[in-house]
């Protein structure tokens, strides 16, 4: 038996990427943005193919992602932000609702969304994670956009018909 495995190449040339970045916890978000943009450039995504929107906080990210996704103009979207635990329950509310809203955009519109909204216990954790997660979000967005393209191509052929004939989709 031979199993076909597709793993997308991290090649960003020609991809249109939308980024929504929170301004709350600005130094951390700036580090996320800088590492994300540097990695997108390294992967071959042109500056002209990147659209970036700034929002006040993590709770506003899903709204703008939703609007961007609804245009059908983007191959992938990226969410950048930082939610750092404070002394109240507000941390859980913002972290959970932001994450849920971001995921809902991906599933509703069928567009890949890389979630790099950090949820950390303190500022120090956020500062350490920001450069890594910003670059990681860029790689995830590019890879998932390429995988999505491949799946679109598969849908337009009969190559995947076998997977659904025997109830494999159930």
Q: Tell me the sheet residues that pair with 115.
A: 79
Annotated active-site residue 66? The verdict is no
Please state, in angstroms and rounded to a whole number, the distance separating the CA atoms of residues 131 and 33: 8
- At 42-87, the pLDDT tens digits run 999 999 999 999 999 999 999 999 999 999 999 999 999 999 998 8
pLDDT > 70? residue 164: no
122-147 pLDDT tens trace? 999 999 999 999 999 999 999 999 99
CA angle 94–112–56, rounded 5-degree value: 35
Higher pLDDT, 116 or 158: 116
Q: How confident is the model at residue 170 (pLDDT cuts 50, 70, 90)?
A: very low
Rounded Cα distance between 20 and 33, Å, is 10
Taking each helix axis from N to C end, the angle separating 26-42 and 123-155, rounded to the nearest 10 degrees, works out to 40
pLDDT of residue 163: 52
Pairing verdict, β 17-22 and 50-55 = parallel
Q: Which of helix, strand or coil describes residue 25? A: coil
Ordered alpha helix ranges (H), the chain: 26-42, 61-70, 90-109, 123-155, 161-165
Pairwise CA distance, residues 124 & 157, whole Å: 50
Backbone angles phi, psi at 55, to 5 degrees: -130, 160
Q: What is the pLDDT of residues 3-35, one digit of tens each?
A: 888 888 889 999 999 999 999 999 999 999 999
pTM surpassing 0.85?
Answer: yes
- Residue 159 pLDDT level (bands cut at 50, 70, 90): low
Domains for the chain: give ranges and CATH numbers: 17-161 (3.40.50.960)
**CA nearest neighbour of 28 among 126, 154, 105, 100:** 126
Q: Which of 73, 90, 149, 153 is catalytic?
A: 90
């Amino acid at each position: 038996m031979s199993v076909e495995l597709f793993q997308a190449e991290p090649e960003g040339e020609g991809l249109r990427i939308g980024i929504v970045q929170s301004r709350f916890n600005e130094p951390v978000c700036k580090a996320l943005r800088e590492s994300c943009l540097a990695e997108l450039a390294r992967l071959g995504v042109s500056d002209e193919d990147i659209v970036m929107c700034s929002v006040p906080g993590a709770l506003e990210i899903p709204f703008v992602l939703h609007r961007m996704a609804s245009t059908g103009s983007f191959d992938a979207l990226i969410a950048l932000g930082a939610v750092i635990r404070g002394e109240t329950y507000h941390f859980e509310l913002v972290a959970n609702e932001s994450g849920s809203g971001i995921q809902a955009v991906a599933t509703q519109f069928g567009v890949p969304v890389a979630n790099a909204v950090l949820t950390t216990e303190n500022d120090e954790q956020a500062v350490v994670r920001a450069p890594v997660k910003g670059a990681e979000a860029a790689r995830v967005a590019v890879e998932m956009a390429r995988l999505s393209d491949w799946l679109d191509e598969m849908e337009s052929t009969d190559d995947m018909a076998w997977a659904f004939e025997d109830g494999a989709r159930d």
